[in-house]
Amino acid sequence: MPRYYIDEEWDRDALFASRNLVSLEFAADQLRVSPHAVEKAAGRLQGALLMWIFGGRGQRMRKYRDVYVDMGPAPGPDLPHAWQSWTPEELLGEARQRHADPDGLRGLEHGGT
C-alpha cells in the first residue's frame, strides 16, 4: 500500500502540483536515514512513508524520476507522515481536482495537523 503506481502523465502532473514530492535521496537526508531505510519503510504493508512510483516496468519518463516520496501537501513544510489519514487514491483524487481547477478546492487541504 505505501507504494502507489502512477502511469498517466496527467496524474503525475497533478501530484506534482498539489503534493510535496521529493527524491528518495532527499527524503533520506531529511529523515536522517539511508535511502535503503526509506525504501524499506515504504515497502511495508502499513509503512510510514508513501512512495509514488512513476511509469511501468521499463517505461522511462523524461521529466520525472522513477520514485518520489510524499512529504505532505504543497506548498508547506516536509511532513512525511501527513498522508496517513488518507488513502493514496484519495490524495490522487484531490490532486486531480486541484489540477483541473486550482481554485475549486480551497479549504480541502490534506495537512498533517
C-alpha grid cell for residue 44?
511495508
DSSP result, 33-55: S-HHHHHHHHHSTT-SS-EEEES
Task: Tell me the CA distances in angstroms from 45 to 1, 11, 30, 31, one per residue in order.
Answer: 6, 23, 23, 20
pLDDT digits (tens, 9 = 90+) for 25-75: 999 999 999 999 998 888 787 778 999 998 765 655 556 678 899 999 988
Confirm if 92 and 7 have CB atoms less than 8 A apart: no
pLDDT digits (tens, 9 = 90+) for 92-103: 999 999 888 766
- Write down the domain spans for the chain: 3-86
**Per-residue pLDDT for 111 more than 60?**
no
This prediction has a pTM of 0.77
What confidence score (pLDDT) does residue 70 get? Answer: 93
Whose cell is 496524474? That residue is: 11
C-alpha grid cell for residue 110?
490534506
Among residues 17, 93, 21, which one has the least CA distance to residue 51? 21
